[in-house]
Amino acid sequence: MDAAADTEPPAPALTEVAGNPIPDGAQTARIEAPDGVGLRAAYWPAERTSHGTVCVFQGRAEFIEKYFETVNDLRERGFYVATLDWRGQGGSDRIASNRNAGHVRRYADYDADLATFMREFVLPDCPPPYFALAHSMGGLILLRNAVIRGTWFERIMCAAPLVGFVEDGTPWKLAIALGRIMRGIGLGRLKVPSGKYDREAGFPGNLLTSDAARYARMLDLTAANPDLRLGAPTFGWLAATADAIAGVGSEAFHKELKIPVLNVAAGMDKIVSTPAIEVLGKRMRIGNSIVLDGARHEILMEQDRIRDRFWAAFDSFIPGTGE
């Protein structure tokens, strides 16, 4: 046996609960970003003749297991599905001393995660063409990468992309300024003092979904594996996110965007700004935004009547799904 193989870390485990089994055929791996951060990744083959690969990119504080239902939806459409946990969350390495804090130094680190995932995990085993399906923070990351020369994706579809903070009375300009100050004086890894991120609320009044069963499934997963939980973001994450949002809103971004993008906003989103998503779509030369009335932030975890509308948009936008 190759001695090097003996030193390779075991493939990371996936967690399942009743009503959310691991889809058959999962292939998992631990891959390493250039700075040594370990990332958990997984892929599944298509259930029939492949139309390519859809890469699923999660939002802040999410994890692979939340998307098992989405994996099945995509495989039934004839796609391979590949996904990863971003650094600092899910089953990937945490990068703050407080493992419950959601931290990143800059979005270029997420860009490096994405490049590592594609080059080392997706390209060797998953067939082209490649499409991206990204949620919230994942949408912001993928939009940034949509203007990189040689990007891997033919098309990108974003569900409730984080391109603006919701106007909920929070003094965001002040909070972002404070975040940049804290980052500048070396305190960027401290958590934003907001208890709402550190508790798992009951279904009534939650901001994520109007589907009680899917919401309960999220809680069941973190109860079964508490290591998947993530609390409040850090000041550093807040400052880095504000920088990334500014970049996507710049004239340079819109001039350089060369691949089709479809943004799907949630009409009842209380986490990211739906008006900001609409404005972004209007400014895109080869992109657009639509709004799903009645949807809360996590569109793919919503009621069937909302998810059906999302998948209809997906089928119209991504080639091969109607075959």
pLDDT at residue 47 in the model: 87
- Regarding pTM above 0.75, the answer is yes
CATH for 3-317?
A: 3.40.50.1820
pLDDT at residue 2 in the model: 46
Boundaries of every domain in the chain: 3-317
Residue type, 130: Y
d(CA 40, CA 22): 15
What is the 3-class SS of the chain, one letter each residue?
CCHHHHCCCCCCCCCCECCECCCCCCEEEEEECCCCCEEEEEEECCCCCCCCEEEEECCCCCCHHHHHHHHHHHHHCCCEEEEECCCCCCCCCCCCCCCCCECCCCHHHHHHHHHHHHHHHHHHHCCCCEEEEEECHHHHHHHHHCCCCCCCEEEEEEECCCCCECCCCCCHHHHHHHHHHHHHCCCCCCECCCHHHCCCCCCCCCCCCCCHHHHHHHHHHHHHCHHHCCCCEEHHHHHHHHHHHHHHCCHHHHHHCCCCEEEEEECCCCCECHHHHHHHHHHCCCEEEEEECCCCCCHHHCCHHHHHHHHHHHHHHCCCCCC
Separation of first and last alpha carbons in the chain = 45
pLDDT at residue 8 in the model: 61
pLDDT at residue 150 in the model: 84
Mean pLDDT per 10-residue segment, the chain (323 residues):
52 93 97 97 91 97 98 96 98 93 96 98 97 98 92 96 90 94 96 67 86 95 96 96 97 93 97 96 93 98 98 94 58
How far lies 95's CA from each of 109, 113, 119, 180, 261, in Å? 11, 13, 22, 19, 31
pLDDT at residue 22 in the model: 98
